[in-house]
Amino acid sequence: MRSGYIVKSKSTNKISEKELKMINKLTRRTFEEDEIYSFSVALCDNDIDRDFERFSDSALEKLSKLYIGKTGVLDHKATSENQTARIFFCEIESLPEKTNKIGEPYKRLVAKAYMPKCEKNKTTILEIDSGIKKEVSIGCAVENKICSICGKDSNKEKCEHKKGKKYRNGNKYQICHSILENPTDAYEWSFVAVPAQPKAGVIKAFKGGEKNMEEIIKSLNSGEDVNFSAQECEKLNEMIKCLKQKASERDFYIEGVRNDVLKMCRILEPDIGEHLIKSALENLSLNDLQTLKKAFKSKISKIIPSEPQFAPEKSDLPIQKNTQFKI
C-alpha cells in the first residue's frame, strides 16, 4: 500500500506533553496545546498493492525515520500554498489479527501529524474530522526493487517474470511482485481524492548521487517512471549527440560502400538497369554490401587484371640459370 488513510481516533485529539515537545522541535516558536491540531495517518504497509509492489519490513523501518518532519501537501503538488501538515512522529504498527497477501504478519507505517489551528486550516480540519479528507498517498525513493520469484533487482537487471502473474513454486502458486527495499528519501505525503490514481504512489528515483550511463540506460529500459538530475540529463544529451554523430558517419560509410557495389554491378552486368540495381542495394545491410563488394571485386580482377602502370614487360624466353658464368 503506497496509498494510506487517516486513522480514526479512539479518543479525543488531546496532545500529550511528550507529543507537544516533539512538535515544538519542528516549530520556530513554542506552541501550546490549544494552538495545535493533531491526527494520525497510516502512510503505507507491507502488503502487495495494486501495482503488485510491497514494502519490506526493513523498508518500513527506514521510512519511519525518513518521514519525521516531512510535510503533507494536496494532490502531490509540492508548493508552499499546498502545505497542510507536518509529521512529528512515525512508527511501525503490527496488527496481530491480520496477515498480508503472502501470509506474513501485517505491518503498517503510522505517523502523527500536526497543523496550527488558524483561519486558513479551519476547513481542512473540518474535512479531516468529517471524513472528507481521508485518503493519502506517499512519495519516496527506493534503491532496490526485488522480484519475489527470482530475487533479481529490476533497478539493475531484467528478469523474465511479470508482475501480477502467478508462478508455481512447488505445490503452491505465488503472485509475482516487486519488493521495495532500501528507501533513500521520503519526499512528501499527500491528501488525494483517489489514492488509486497512477501518480499516487512511490516515485521511482535514483539513490543520491549521479548514475553512470549504463545505469541510466537500465532505468530507461525498465519501463517505469524515473527521475533524472540535471547532471544525468546532461550526460544523456551528450550521449545522444555522440550517437547521432556516429550514426551520420556510419551512413556516410555505407553510402560509399553501396556506390562501390553499384559501379561493380555496372561492369559485371551492364544490361541491368541502374534504377533496378539501386533499388535492390537500398535494402541490403552493411554486412551484405561488404560481402557483395568482396565477391564482385574478385570477379572483376579476373576479367580486368590490375597491374601497375609502369610494370616491366614479361619475357617469353625461358629463364636461364647461372648465366653470369657464361661467356
Mean residue pLDDT of the chain comes to: 81
Give 97-118 pLDDT, tens digit per residue: 899 988 999 999 999 999 999 9
Alpha helix (H) residue ranges in 198-229: 213-221
| Region label for 106, one of left (φ > 0), alpha (ψ between -120 and 50) or beta (otherwise) | beta
- Rounded to whole angstroms, the Cα distance separating 47 from 107 reads 8
pLDDT band, very low/low/confident/very high, at 179 (cuts 50, 70, 90): very high
Mean pLDDT of 252-262: 89
Whether 198 has a pLDDT exceeding 50, the answer reads no
Which pLDDT score is estimated for 147? 94
Whether 212 has a pLDDT exceeding 70, the answer reads no
As a whole-number percent, the residues of the chain with pLDDT over 70 amount to: 76
Question: 87 and 113 in contact (C-beta within 8 Å)?
Answer: yes
Give 64-87 pLDDT, tens digit per residue: 999 999 988 877 666 667 788 999
Which pLDDT score is estimated for 222? 59
Pick from 216, 213, 199, 236: which is nearest to 155 by CA? 216
- Cell numbers that stand for 204 in this block: 521511482
Q: Kindly list the domain boundaries of the chain, sorted by start residue.
A: 3-142+184-208, 234-303
